[in-house]
Amino acid sequence: MSASGSTKAILAALAANAGIAVAKFIGFLITRSSSMLAESLHSLADTSNQALLLFGQRQARKEADSLHPFGFGRSRFFYSFVVALVLFSLGSLFAIIEGIHKISHPEPLRSAVVAIVILLVAMALEGFSLRTAVSESASLKGDGTWWQFIRRSRNPELPVVILEDTGALLGLVFALLGVGLTIVTGNPVWDGVGTLLIGLLLGVIAVILMVEMHSLLIGEGASAEDLLAIQAAIEQTPGVERVIHLRTEYMGPEEMLVAAKIALPAGIDLAAVAAAINAAESAVRAKVPAARLIYLEPDLDRALRR
């Protein structure tokens, strides 16, 4: 999948979060609810995160140069990792600190009905954003679960948007519970509890994202299915006896590096070697389109020689 599907999901999330952030902050100014303040910063962090993801996509499109001969595809991994850091620092830590403060020093709510209306509208907008991200991810997800998609996807933006939007919806539920219990019981401590839960939720999501993006940054290879397809494509090429060893690594979400040493028959001439390598490269690209950088080293099958 190209970056266009990711961009559509990011733009939908950006538009929704920007509007929600403004509405929530206005709601906080009216109600003085700490849950509303935490949710305002949550949406502000999400809005800045979408901007970072778009910037990462732009950086990844830069042409390769002498210092970066394999291009800038990993910029998308890097900025997705930065998003996780922003979500953790700006969203989670502030909400946890604010929640603890409101529990120890509770303050009464004002115009709680306004907060509830804003939170319900925000849930509708976040639901639209999540639906867009899920729709754009469906072709990549395949038959696996959504958790498997988040763990295995080499496309960094879609898992980020899905986790952000899921966390936003759950955070809105916590905020509604905090405000609702404060209204029912008359005890503003519940508003602080809702804020604390939002902070803990954001922290969990941020840690998951950091772990996954770190794995992509240091380099992930092809999936087991793609690895078998690559090996089969090479070994089924006329003139190739077998793959001696094979290494793969993603240089970007849609660009994989393939390096392999392949065994060729003894006595084969140079023209036949070149033809076999070219045919093997074409076969690999036909099976796994992401394999754009392919380096095949010809060798004799030493096991057969012995």
Residues 177, 280 within the same domain: no
Residues 96, 172 within the same domain: yes
Residues 186, 274 within the same domain: no
Residues 136, 234 within the same domain: no
Which residue in 41, 125, 135 sits closest to 89, CA to CA? 41
Residues 33, 179 within the same domain: yes
Which residue in 52, 252, 39, 36 sits closest to 161, CA to CA? 52
Number of structural domains (the chain) is 2
CATH of the domain at 286: 3.30.70.1350
In the listed set 185, 218, 251, which residue is the last one of a domain according to the structure?
A: 218
Residues 203, 243 within the same domain: no
Residues 186, 108 within the same domain: yes
In the listed set 172, 201, 218, which residue is the last one of a domain according to the structure?
A: 218
Lowest mean pLDDT among 118-122, 125-129, 141-145, 227-231: 141-145
- Residue 281: which domain range? 224-305
Residues 198, 246 within the same domain: no
267 backbone φψ class: left, alpha, beta (φ>0; ψ -120 to 50)? left
- Tens of pLDDT along 231-281? 999 999 998 999 999 999 999 888 999 999 999 988 888 999 999 999 999
Residues 153, 250 within the same domain: no
Residues 159, 187 within the same domain: yes
- Tens of pLDDT along 44-87? 877 888 888 889 889 988 988 889 888 898 898 999 888 888 77
Tokens 């060798």 sit on residue: 299
Residues 157, 292 within the same domain: no
Residues 260, 169 within the same domain: no
What per-residue confidence (pLDDT) applies to 1? 46
CATH of the domain at 156: 1.20.1510.10
pLDDT band, very low/low/confident/very high, at 26 (cuts 50, 70, 90):
confident
